[in-house]
Amino acid sequence: MKIAIVTSDGNSVSQHFGRSPYYKIISIDNNKVTGEEMRQRRTGHFAPQQKQAEHHQNNNHDHGGHGEKHGYGSDADTKHASMATEIGDCQILVAGGMGQGAYESFKRAGLDVVMTNRQLIEDVIIDYINGNLVNYAYDRTD
């Protein structure tokens, strides 16, 4: 089992998926951590071509230039699918929060998406192993 947790520093859970530059990947086998890996995100806000496009569109409130709500539409679905590919070997994605469009896209990609109120990655892992990881998805998607 692999869990991808969005993070900026490798220790804390990012409070918003879209603003995290890394995934910390935790491998768990028989309720024990068997491996850890930091992966830099290469899609979404962190892709070189996306940074340049955002710089030119930073005053466009629909974030896509197509009249679609941020996080929805074909452009967003394509971006979310490429993000899911980066963690395609994982079964669970954990974040402090994310947009509803991203949440729905990751669920369609087969990930169990968990929105947590835990601040530290270590606490997320302990809660998961003990069967106590609470999903606040309906409270933490916008």
Q: Is residue 91 assigned to a domain?
A: yes
- The CATH number given to whatever domain includes residue 22 is 3.30.420.130
What percent of the chain shows pLDDT beyond 90? 51
Q: Is residue 24 assigned to a domain?
A: yes
**Placement of tokens 């990947």 in the chain:** 25
Q: What is the pLDDT of residues 80-116, one digit of tens each?
A: 666 788 999 999 999 999 888 888 889 988 999 999 9
Q: What are phi and psi of 32, to 5 degrees?
A: -130, 140
Q: Is residue 108 assigned to a domain?
A: yes
Instruction: Indicate the number of domains in the chain.
Output: 1
Gap between the Cα atoms of 128 and 42, Å rounded: 27
**pTM: predicted TM-score of the whole model, two decimal places:** 0.79
Burial of 33 (0-12, 13-18, 19+ CB in 10 A): middle
Q: What is the pLDDT of residues 43-64, one digit of tens each?
A: 756 555 444 444 434 434 344 4
Give me the domain span that covers residue 116.
2-43+71-129
Residue 113 CB contacts under 8 Å (≥ 6 apart), including other chains:
92, 93, 95, 98, 103, 106, 107, 135, 137
Q: Is residue 139 assigned to a domain?
A: no
